[in-house]
Amino acid sequence: MTSYRLGSGGAINRGQSLGFTFDGRSYKGFDGDTLASALLANDQMLMARSFKYHRPRGVVTAGSAEPNALMTIGSGARAEPNARATVVELYNGLAAASQNRWPSLKHDFGAVNDLFSPFFGAGFYYKTFMWPGVLWEKLYEPLIRRAAGLGKVTMLADPDRYEKSWAHCDLLVIGAGPTGLMAALAAGRAGARVILADEGFRFGGSLLSESAAVDGRPAAEFAADIVAELASLPNITLMPRTTVFGWYDDMVFGAVERVQKHVASPSPDLPMERLWRIVAKQAILATGAEERPLVFGGNDKPGVMTAGAARTYLNRYGVAVGGKVAVFTNGGSGYRTAADLLAQGVDVTAIIDARPQSADPVPESVRVIRSGSVIATRGRHRIEGLIVERSGFEEVIGCDAMAMSGGWSPIVHLMCQRGAKPVWSDEKQAFLAPDVGGAFAAAGSAAGELSLGACLKDGSAKAHAALDALGRLVGTLETPEVEGEYDPSFAPLWYVPGARDKAFVDFQNDVHVGDLGLAQREGFRHIEHTKRYTTAGMATDQGKLGNVNTAGIVAGMRGVSPAEIGTTTFRPFYTPVSFGALAGTARAEHAAPVRTSPLHGWARKNGATFVESGLWYRSAWFPREGEKTWRESVDREVLNVRAHAGLCDVSTLGKIEIFGSGAAEFLDRIYSNSFLKLPVGRARYGLMLREDGIVFDDGTVSRLSENRYVMTTTTAFAAEVLAHLEFSAQTFWPELDVRFVSSTDQWAQMSLAGPKARIIMSRVVQDDISDAAFPFLAAREVMLRDGLKARLFRISFSGELAYELAVPAGYGEAVADAIMNAGREDGICAYGVEALNVLRVEKGHVTLSELDGRTTADDVGLGRMMAMQKPDFIGKRLSTRFGLTAADRLQLVGLKPIEADKEIKAGAHLLKEGAKPSTANDQGFVSSACFSPTLGHFIALGMLKSGRERIGERVMVWDGLRGSEVLAQVCPPVFVDPENSKLHL
């Protein structure tokens, strides 16, 4: 027996046994265990293989910095790779598997890499796999990727739910150890809104592993008492299992709560994890300190761990990490560990102290080797002994576990995420948190305090400072009494000379001291370059244990202070965050909100196929029995509209209600054409320009009464146009009395088009809509036959006699049904946006395919809509500049294939007949193309150099992308009814 469960003690519930498996073998642990503590209790020290050399590894820590004990938890869709066994909360049925080994953890073929390690130094891949270059992608990279090893991600969809939530507080306390608990208590008692978050599943932090007494009670009991009081305060929110992973602008903190990660059968009503955005007025960083490993030969052998970890397994989990433990230290932590182990009946074979002398109390009967250096360790899958060198003499000391302590590094990650760098302190021999302003302060050991008493005191003190800033009454400072405290101070020792085996600095990436030296010799001297060349500080642990040692060792090699070396850049996330948590509910059909038209139900009933258009779902076409392709449906719909009538949903067009005595003047300045004289009861087509003279959007404006208008915009630019109006009114012409509000959602709007449109509409509308009473471009309120008020516009996009009817959205479906009923005898059909597109191409109407952000009004044949006599309108001034008026600009033309059965596709380029395809020979492009069922062949709209002068010319429609060349004739862009006779029926 080497590591084992003690007969009593620890913050575990021995009454509740939990079964779990590791690599298929069954084990038992207790409620309150982590996976790592339970494995150790079962004498399973070998937990992983290292990344590069496949060396056997065990735990080094008992917390979130763990670089070695990475495992895959769960199976199937719930398999999670690279989980740190030291923070995985044990539950009944947990299944863990080791990673990066084949065929088994104990017998790993990849360990051969360790034998060849002289070739695998830093930069090995860069130097070796340089040529031939073609082999990189096909051979080298796949091989390296297969050999490199952390866990494998599952390719199955995550079956669990995730959520995001906001939280707001006066004070956020990050970390619920001695410092954080005292801070939360002080602020909580003062009535502040406090959030206390801790990554662990039990509050207390180091108090749970502490053998000293606080206020006359065991430390863990003291912690439990504070937690109980905090839980009773309504102004305190306790967030266990919650990692604050990032500090962002404006005191927003990101946190992830593992809601059900520890639950054997998760509830479908709860999320697996919840992402929090915590807005805090003040925050206290009480994240504690990380104990530094010592860098000596063979320091990665399973069984070698930090002294603090050995104490945590012992005191918190009731697990002795070995039967005979050796201690290697440069400070008080090693002595305290020896004393705690002895108190639980564990044999301590020796304390090797790197310092020549110290005042630390030596436990009775323990041998201390001062000025000693460990230069190698023995054993394969577990440490069996170590070689100590002292004054030139070597000695072998037997052990089955080893506790090491190289001093303490404050955990300052979060405070350095917004650009501030940690500050080296010669006095503390550590990088301390930078000053980031008053609202966010480090406290306790995160601020460089070492002793328990000092941390408890600092927690209260920093909370009082925060309360003061919040303007809350401050009571008296409370400082609990600590009995049996040890002195955690230490002397710096960056690495131990004389190593006989690799001395690892970064366990997770297999970076050893030799690699750091190589990086310096080869010129990768800046710490950021050293990191990238050696990979020290990369991967899932981001160098939590190794980075400070790296800086210290590089400083030593260069003969400078670690202050000169500095640290690499700290970035969120502090620990890995799952993609599920970051995505929250935004997945599959919830990836984005869906906008549905008021006529969605009507379209569905009529069998529509929908197409996404921004967030909208629009009806694209309405297939009928026997129609095999979309084209068949669209052709039928187009012919039906031209011959009889069709009803189309146009509700998604933007609608803006405009009010005010200055509205006419405002519209006159917004549009390029004139609006001052638009009569009441009339609609007008309008063209909006950008300030650079290019067309922005088009639409209609109808004057409902003297100072009352309604504007329509394209579906795509509805939001942009409203913003444009708001910006113009607010910043350009605040003196104009004009107000507007979007009413897009209020109206179900449908277009009834075709020669039978009037007869059908008159069956639904009470008002006289004869051509005389309701001529082309009439626009006014009408009454439907059941008394419903509606807006009717005689406007046409299809070129047919057409009306747009707008009714309150809730009546949309009923009115559309009524129109379909009323039109049945006249052959009405539903048509979608595809047919609408064909109808408008046939009619030569432009859309955003032509108004693509590059075209002027004149380019698309709308030059007459430039009312240049107006003193000002947006885009007027730059519309006349050189370049926008050049004779060789691309102009809108129509295109017809010379051979009637040939297809023209949008996006194809136009070339002079016989010209080679080249940029120099490019004459323009096809902007819209479709099959015209009315004409029986393909037609297209295109932008052609000096196009209007070239009517009748033949051009090559060259589609290099899809491999087609079609000869076409340039023609006017209006294919159907150029005299507009159908509009005025």
Q: Site residues for another protein, window 679-698 (CB under 8 A)? A: 691-692
Burial class (CB in 10 A: 0-12, 13-18, 19+), 17: exposed
Give burial (CB, 10 Å; 0-12/13-18/19+) of 645: buried
Establish if 596 lies at the interface with another protein (CB under 8 A): yes
Q: Which strands, in side-by-side order, build the sheet including 80-84? A: 25-31, 13-22, 94-97, 70-73, 80-84
Which range in 94-102, 313-321, 406-414, 655-663 contacts another protein by CB under 8 A?
A: 655-663
876 binding another protein? (CB under 8 A) = yes
Segment contacting another protein by CB under 8 A, of 84-92, 244-252, 627-635, 959-967:
244-252
CB nearer to another protein: give 95 or 583. Answer: 583
Cβ proximity of 508 and 539 under 8 Å: yes
681 near 778, Cβ under 8 Å?
Answer: yes
Strands 695-705 and 747-753: unpaired
User: Is there binding between residue 260 and another protein (CB under 8 A)?
Assistant: no
Residue 820 has a CB neighbour count (10 Å cut-off) of 18
The DSSP annotation for 267-320 comes to -TTS-SEEEEEEEEEEEEE---EEEPPP--TTTTSTTEEEHHHHHHHHHTT-EE
**Cβ 439 to another protein shortest distance, Å:** 12
- Asked if residue 507 binds another protein (CB under 8 A), the reply is no
Q: Is residue 823 close enough to count as binding another protein by CB under 8 A? A: no
What are the DSSP calls for 352-421, one per residue?
A: EESSS---PPPPTT--EEET-EEEEEE-SSS--EEEEEETTEEEEEE-SEEEEE--EEE--GGGGTTSPP
Based on CB atoms, which residue is closest to another protein, 741 or 898?
A: 741
* 532 scored as a contact of another protein (CB under 8 A): no
Number of continuous H segments (helices) and E segments (strands) in the chain: 23, 53
Check residue 156 for interaction with another protein (CB under 8 A): no
Nearest approach in angstroms of CB 278 to another protein is: 10
User: Residue 730 Cβ, how far from another protein at the closest point, in Å?
Assistant: 5
Residue 7 contacts another protein per CB under 8 A = no
User: Measured from the CB atom, is 203 or 616 closer to another protein?
Assistant: 616
Examine residue 881 and tell whether it contacts another protein (CB under 8 A).
Answer: yes
DSSP-derived 3-state class of residue 140: helix
Separation CA 779–CA 43 (nearest Å): 86
**Two structure tokens written together for 743:** 């009413």
Q: Which of 242, 349, 744, 891 binds another protein (CB under 8 A)?
A: 744
User: Contacting another protein (CB under 8 A), which of 264, 723, 868, 985?
Assistant: 723
396 forms part of the interface with another protein (CB under 8 A): no
Q: Examine residue 808 and tell whether it contacts another protein (CB under 8 A).
A: yes
Q: Which is nearer to another protein, 60 or 807 (CB)?
A: 807
Work out whether 871 is an interface residue with another protein (CB under 8 A): yes
b/e map 528-549, b = 16+ CB within 10 Å: eebbbbbbbbbbbbbbbbbbbb
Q: Using the rule CB under 8 A, which residue among 262, 277, 381, 905 binds another protein? A: 277
The string of DSSP letters for 721-756 reads: HHHHHHHIIIII-TTS--EEEE-TTTEEEEEEESTT
CB of 723 to another protein, least distance (A): 6
Please state the closest distance from residue 305 (CB atom) to another protein, in A.
Answer: 34
Strands (E), 469-527: 482-483, 504-506, 511-512
Q: Which of positions 614-633 make contact with another protein (CB under 8 A)?
A: 615-616
Residue 805 — left, alpha, or beta (φ > 0 → left; ψ -120 to 50 → alpha)? Answer: beta
Distance of CA 487 to the CA centre of its chain: 44
Residue 471 binds to another protein (criterion: CB under 8 A): no
Min CB(2)–another protein separation in Å: 44
Identify the DSSP state of 207: G
Determine if 593 is a binding residue for another protein (CB under 8 A). Answer: yes
Nearest to 650 by CA among 825, 827, 837: 837
Is 726 a binding residue for another protein by CB under 8 A? The answer is yes
Is residue 176 within 8 A of residue 184, CB to CB? The reply is yes
Among 150, 423, 814, 971, binds another protein (CB under 8 A): 814
String marking each residue 420-459 x if it binds another protein according to CB under 8 A: ----------------------------------------
From the list 14, 78, 763, 948, which residue makes contact with another protein (rule: CB under 8 A)?
A: 763
Q: Please provide residue 509's backbone torsions phi and psi, each rounded to the nearest 5 degrees.
A: -105, 10
Residues ≥6 apart with Cβ < 8 Å to 501: 297, 298, 376, 377
* Min separation Cβ 893 and another protein, Å: 29
* Closer to another protein by Cβ: residue 77 or 741: 741
Segment interacting with another protein (CB under 8 A) among 222-230, 243-251, 421-429, 847-855: 243-251
- Please state the closest distance from residue 953 (CB atom) to another protein, in A: 36
The burial of 157, by beta-carbon neighbours within 10 Å (0-12 exposed, 13-18 middle, 19 or more buried), is given as: exposed
The yes or no reply on residue 674 touching another protein (CB under 8 A) is no
Residue pair 660/704 in contact by the 8 Å Cβ criterion? no
Secondary element (H or E) of residue 583: helix 579-583
Residue of 839, 800, 716, 813 lying closest to 984 (CA atoms): 800
| Minimum CB–partner distance for residue 673 and another protein (Å) | 17
Stretch that binds another protein, among 245-253, 302-310, 484-492, 970-978 (CB under 8 A): 245-253
- The residue (of 70 and 694) whose beta carbon lies closer to another protein is 694
Does the protein bind another protein through residue 201 (CB under 8 A)?
A: no
Are 793 and 750 a contacting pair, CB within 8 Å?
no
Contact set for another protein, span 898-927 (CB under 8 A): none
CB of residue 236 vs another protein: minimum separation in angstroms?
Answer: 14
CB within 8 Å of 257: residues ≥ 6 apart: 239, 241, 242, 273, 274, 275, 276
At 860 the three-state DSSP class reads coil
The one among 32, 56, 177, 254 contacting another protein by CB under 8 A: 254
Contact pattern for another protein over residues 567 through 586, marking x by CB under 8 A: -----x------------x-
Give the nearer residue to another protein in terms of CB position, either 871 or 914: 871
Where does this chain touch another protein (CB under 8 A) — which range of 246-254, 559-567, 921-929, 947-955?
246-254
Task: Tell me if 811 contacts another protein by CB under 8 A.
Answer: yes
Judged by beta carbon, residue 365 or residue 731, the one nearer another protein is 731
Stretch that binds another protein, among 59-67, 354-362, 673-681, 743-751 (CB under 8 A): 743-751
Told to check if 385 binds another protein by CB under 8 A, we report no
Q: Are 9 and 34 in contact (CB under 8 A)?
A: no
CA atoms of 387 and 379, how far apart (whole Å) = 12
Give the nearer residue to another protein in terms of CB position, either 26 or 569: 569
Instruction: List the one residue from 106, 824, 877, 984 that touches another protein (CB under 8 A).
Output: 877
595 near another protein (CB under 8 A)? yes
Please report whether residue 788 would count as binding another protein according to CB under 8 A: yes
**Cβ distance 500 to 234 under 8 Å?**
no
Contact 617, 594 (CB under 8 A): yes
How many chain residues touch another protein (CB under 8 A)? 81
Binding window for another protein (CB under 8 A); candidates: 93-101, 442-450, 484-492, 733-741:
733-741
As measured in angstroms, the least distance from the Cβ of 397 to another protein is: 50
CB of 264 to another protein, least distance (A): 18
Minimum Å gap between C-beta 814 and another protein is: 4
Give the DSSP letter of residue 108.
B
Spatial separation of the C-alpha atoms in residues 575 and 842, rounded to whole Å: 60
